């Protein structure tokens, strides 16, 4: 019997060790980063647009080109630039459809496609690369003559909201405001949501252990002194309303506004066009 207990004890030790090593591997190998940041199967052959625009290909690393475009008003003066961080599956061919109301008011809008997505090349290996790319793109565009002379507002939707909040935190002195829609408080928080959707709610405590929190939006937003608008639909089925509300609860209340909107995930500009555009215009006046 004693030998059996010893055997079982060693089996338990081995199993626990394997579990711990496995969890540590998932965490420090950044296994979850690829699932979060990499988007496959969203390439297209040729970029086309009916809007007045300037197209860019930025060489930012070996074998890595970032595809981007600056969309411009047709016949009215430019009043400011919106730096748009789009959602995970939104490339330039699809996202530009939402720009018309903002272009009509005199905004020019910049958006880029993350590595290995759309017409951009390279590998979206981890959050550090994604963060560096976001700041590099912002700095390059903010330095353009037709951009630096006008105010800049950052716009983040869904996954792009995490990058938008980080960039606003790092470049607060260069922007007039931050507009977020359908985004979330942190990656571990959204990871717990996916665990719930997969009926793995009893294991959601593992998410913060295996997932890095390199874009802690709920912490970064606390430091912002610029105008902030956080819009979220109560019927959003992709990013729950509560995660947008949690982000707002961490924002400074003297310069932040939470806006309850209607409709599906990040469809605010279609469902509330006038109010949506006015939110950007108001930021320029403050």
| pLDDT at residue 205, as a whole number | 46
How many whole angstroms separate alpha carbon 173 and alpha carbon 245? 26
pLDDT of residue 177: 97
What is the DSSP annotation of 135-162? HHHHHHHHTSHHHHTS-EEEEEETHHHH
For the whole prediction, is pTM greater than 0.75? yes
- Domains of the chain, by residue range, sit at 2-285
The alpha helices in 29-95, defined as continuous H runs, are 31-37, 92-95
Contact 228, 221 (CB under 8 A): yes
Output the pLDDT for position 226.
Answer: 97
Average per-residue pLDDT in the chain? 84
pLDDT, tens only, 123-161:
877 778 889 999 999 999 999 999 998 999 999 999 899
Q: What's the rounded Cα separation, in Å, for the pair 98 and 118?
A: 17
Q: What is the pLDDT of residue 101?
A: 97
**Contact status, residue 48 vs residue 71, Cβ threshold 8 Å:** no
Dihedral of CA 276/179/77/51: which sign? negative
CATH number attached to the domain at 2-285:
3.40.50.1820
Task: State the Rg of the chain over Cα.
Answer: 21
* Residue 30 φ then ψ, to 5°: 55, 40
The mean pLDDT values, 10 residues at a time, for the chain of 286 residues are: 62 59 51 56 82 95 93 95 92 95 98 92 81 95 93 96 96 97 80 48 50 80 97 93 95 96 96 97 89
The C-alpha atoms of residue 227 and residue 69 are separated, in whole angstroms, by 26
Which of 263, 242, 87, 240 has the alpha carbon at shortest distance from 162? 87
- CB of 224 closer than 8 Å to CB of 253: no
């Amino acid at each position: 019997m004693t030998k059996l207990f010893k055997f079982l004890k060693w089996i338990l030790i081995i199993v626990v060790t394997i579990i711990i090593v496995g969890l540590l591997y998932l965490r420090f190998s950044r296994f979850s980063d690829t699932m979060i940041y990499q988007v496959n199967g969203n390439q297209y052959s040729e970029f086309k647009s009916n809007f007045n625009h300037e197209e860019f290909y930025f060489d930012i690393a070996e074998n890595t080109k970032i595809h981007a475009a600056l969309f411009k008003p047709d016949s009215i003066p430019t009043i400011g630039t919106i730096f748009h961080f789009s959602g995970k599956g939104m490339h330039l061919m699809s996202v530009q459809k939402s720009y018309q109301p903002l272009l009509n008011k005199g905004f020019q809008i910049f958006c880029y496609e993350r590595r290995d997505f759309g017409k951009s090349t390279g590998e979206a290996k981890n959050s550090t690369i994604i963060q560096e790319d976001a700041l590099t793109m912002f700095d390059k565009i903010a330095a353009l003559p037709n951009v630096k002379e006008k105010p800049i507002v950052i716009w983040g939707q869904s996954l792009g909201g995490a990058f938008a909040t980080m960039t606003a935190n790092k470049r607060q002195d260069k922007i007039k405001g931050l507009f977020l829609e359908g985004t979330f408080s942190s990656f571990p928080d959204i990871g717990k949501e996916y665990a719930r959707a997969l009926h793995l709610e009893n294991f959601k405590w593992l998410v913060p252990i295996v997932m890095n929190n390199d874009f802690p939006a709920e912490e970064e937003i606390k430091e912002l002194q610029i105008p902030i608008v956080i819009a979220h639909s109560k019927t959003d089925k992709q990013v729950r309303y509560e995660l947008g509300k949690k982000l707002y609860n961490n924002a400074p209340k003297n310069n932040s506004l939470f806006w309850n909107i209607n409709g599906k995930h990040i469809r605010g500009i279609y469902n509330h066009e006038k109010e949506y555009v006015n939110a950007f215009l108001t930021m320029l006046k403050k």
